[in-house]
Structure 1
Amino acid sequence: MSDIGQSVDVEAPDDVAVLDDERSRLRDRGDEESSQVSFVELFYDLIFVFAVTQLAGYLVDNITAEGAVRAAILFVAVWWLWINTTWATNRLDPDAAPVRFTMFTLMAASLVLSMALPRAFEDRSFAFAAPYVAMQVGRCLFSADALARNGESAQARTSLRQAVWFAVSGVVWIFGATAEADMRVNLWVLALAIELTAPWLGFPVPGLGREETRDLDVAGEHLSERCGLFIIIALGETLLVTGARAAELEWTATSLGAAATAVASTLAMWWLYFDTGSKRGTRAFEEQHPGHLARVAYTYLHLPIVAGIVLTAVGDKGLIAHPHEPAAWQDAVTILGGPALFLLGNFLFKNATSRRWPLSHLVGIGLLALGVLGLGRLEVLGLALWAVIGLVATAALERLLLRSRAGAEQQIK
């Protein structure tokens, strides 16, 4: 009995010390396991499953030029919130109590923001804009404090510079929330332009200097894995859409064929990203400048990849709902445009990580573009089948070309 009591007394204080130790707010760069994605981060991502679902639902109900612009604004904002939080947790330790509680606070605010998405341009503009600004600025200030506590003053100044820029754009976000819908679009585009331009400029702030990519402290494996998980989130949304819609309908050859086509499209996109692109991106951090690669390939070039998946999910909803209707331009925008945008993003991403232009993706985009000729001739199901053919052909050609290149390099050796 005494031995058991002693073991409890010894272990309990250690657990408390780990949680309360100020230094534990940052990941230990000397520990390989510290760059692993934590359960708290995965828990946080669940909110963005809901956000992606909300965005897809909004676009389904607003397949117009105006609706597309508004959906694009909301999507970029959601992505920018997520990727900047990912940059923060790349350095912060989510298993430390202060960081964990901060993540929980961000989750609560993200849930409010996500619920407001469908009516952000109506009566819930403040419910969207206020949490967004608070999260962007608050996260930067928390990071600056955590870095300063650990003696990393240079990195702390970087977080402070980011906080200043997010505060400036935040004024525009909040002012836009008070404006009429059309003016709100213009102001929120301006706010996003400020935020997306700031990293390229180095977040310059008088008295605090500017940021250089060579000074960025990035754990490439962690960032690569986090972005891969967001791709999984987006692809999971397409499967949820397909399953939910198919379950509501009578099971016929047509409905099951439409569902199978939608699933095939999702599987093909998974293959195109994870077969070679994701692995190559992780290895590229060992060969290229980590800060520059992280900013270009993961912060910016993943935008069209995820957007293409979300747009494809919208197309899948239409496919399941009316597979035998004549394909219209709205169907082409989602069923062909979604995969084309996805391929374009992968084309640019793979070039950034491998320094090569994947010819297969250009062929795939060309095949998808030819599908436009089927408008007025093909049914929605036929158009979707053509999109799957384009994606599968791209994946097959990419694998063939990679094997051919690998064989040629082996002969040279």
Structure 2
Amino acid sequence: MTNFLQPPRLRTSEDSEEHRHATWLELFYDLVFVVAVSQLAHNLEEDVSLSGFLGFVFLFIPVWWSWIGTTMYANRFDSDDIGRRLLVALQMLTVAALAVNIHYGLGESAPGFALSYALGRAVLIVEYVRAGIHIPAARPLTTRYATGFTIAAMLWLLSAFISPPWRFVLWGVGIVVDLVTPFTATKFQLKLLPHASHLPERFGLFTIIVLGEAIIAVVDGVSQQKWDVLSVIAAIFGLCIAFSLWWVYFDNLGGTPIQTARAEGKISIVAIWLYTHLPLVIGIAAAGVGVEEVLLSKQTLPLADATRWLLCGSVGLCYLALGILHRTGVIRYCKIRSKYRIGTTVVVIAIALFGKGLLPVAVIGLVTVACAVQVVQDLYQSRPTTRLVEPGI
């Protein structure tokens, strides 16, 4: 560990060529998001409806963006001094406060949720200002980020003292400002592109956190039921859905979009890759809740419409996001796989549309088959091929 006064160091293009893993501090920081995601899923469990899903998404975005902010900062700036550790500890406290206020985040706990998010942004702003002071080359980028995030933080802070519906209007405007801020500094981002191995690993780790919530949902669903053949089969199907999502995501994870952006000077590729992870993790978390609701349903009666739509719609959202992610890659078969992913989205939405009256195990079974086809397709395309060569050629 370095001393308190040592300034952050900018990761140069030479550093980006080296392989880099997540630090122990980053992994420790991720733990608080396990709780936050769990609380978000709990909210959705209590209100499986369109309004419940929209509320789940509305609260999910600031939680995810809190993680993005710290992750992107750590990706660009190398620092493990006492000051950095204390700032990360403060960020963990703000995320923990977010998690505490999520359960009634759109009701009585909304002011606490807004204050927690605003304080988390304030800590991030301090980090960017600190980096800009010590690293002149990064100052144009850090100034834009600090300015945009300050505007958003002030909107969230103000919202804590305003009654609905204007409170949520300010939240919406604040979220938009946060999400748009990076686009105000695109020409500076090209000079300071993310690390090609570190950033995909960090996104993969957050995806694992959300997939973990899906596994917990299966266990919770089974533990609250009397075991029977249909329940056990449905639980196995639920695990297969999670496993297939893990397979098709991590078998195609890599830094190709970042490398492409560096080679072609197109920051939009990185932006699409980054922002498409939002619907992906929302879909995975919601799919976990959908699986749990299927397992809690009476297996001898038709599955409720709301549960069927939650499961199918969430899985469809996952594969739509995966299709876009694969489209941003330039590795072999990526564009072909993108078409298959989007095709699966159409299939699972069709199951939601025409699956009325089906038993829970039948619905989750059909969704599992659609997911399994993606794994088989990936295996088929990845198989080794041999070519016969005629003599003399």
TM-score band, normalised by the shorter chain? Answer: 0.7 to 0.9
In structure 2, how many angstroms separate the alpha carbons of the residues matched to 1:400 and 1:186? 48
Which aligned pairs between 1:277-356 and structure 2 lie closer than 5 A?
277-278=253-254, 289=265, 291-298=267-274, 300-324=275-299, 325-354=301-330, 356=335
In structure 1, how many angstroms separate the alpha carbons of the residues matched to 2:309 and 2:40? 16
Name which of 102, 110, 113 aligns with 2:98: 113
**8 Å CA contact 2:312, 2:348 repeated in 1:** yes
TM-score of the two chains, using structure 2 as the length reference: 0.88
In structure 1, how many angstroms separate the alpha carbons of the residues matched to 2:31 and 2:322? 24
TM-score of the two chains, using structure 1 as the length reference: 0.84
CA deviation string 1:279-333 (max 9, x = no partner): 75676577554854433212x0111111110110110120121152422331232
Residue 177 of structure 2 is aligned to residue 184 of structure 1: no
**8 Å CA contact 1:258, 1:381 repeated in 2:** yes
Letter aligned with residue 159 of structure 1:
T
**8 Å CA contact 2:20, 2:198 repeated in 1:** yes
Gaps of 5+ in 1: 1-14, 203-209
Letter aligned with residue 276 of structure 2:
L
**8 Å CA contact 1:121, 1:181 repeated in 2:** no
Name which of 132, 156, 159 aligns with 2:139: 156
Which aligned pairs between 1:384-403 and structure 2 lie closer than 5 A?
384-401=364-381, 403=383
In structure 1, how many angstroms separate the alpha carbons of the residues matched to 2:282 and 2:335? 23
Is the deviation greater in 130-139 or in 309-318? 130-139
- Report the counterpart of residue 22 of structure 1 in structure 2: 6
In structure 2, how many angstroms separate the alpha carbons of the residues matched to 1:399 and 1:351? 18
Name which of 110, 130, 144 aligns with 2:129: 144
Distance change >3 Å, CA 233–CA 73, structure 1 → 2: same
Gaps of 5+ in 2: none
Residue 216 of structure 2 is aligned to residue 240 of structure 1: yes
**1:244: Cα distance to partner?**
2.7
Select the structure with the greater relative contact order (CA < 8 A; seq sep ≥ 6): 2
CA deviation string 1:13-72 (max 9, x = no partner): xx6xx3346146555765577832101101110111111111111111122333222211
| Structure that is richer in helix per residue | 1
Secondary structure of 2:223's aligned partner: helix
Is the deviation greater in 333-342 or in 33-42? 33-42
Letter aligned with residue 288 of structure 2:
A
**8 Å CA contact 1:327, 1:380 repeated in 2:** yes
* Paired-residue identity, %: 24
Query: How big is the alpha-carbon RMSD for the aligned residues of Structure 1 and Structure 2?
Result: 2.8
**1:145: Cα distance to partner?**
1.2
Secondary structure of 1:95's aligned partner: coil
Distance change >3 Å, CA 242–CA 254, structure 1 → 2: same
Letter aligned with residue 219 of structure 1:
H
Structure 1 segments of 4+ aligned residues over 6 angstroms from their partners: none
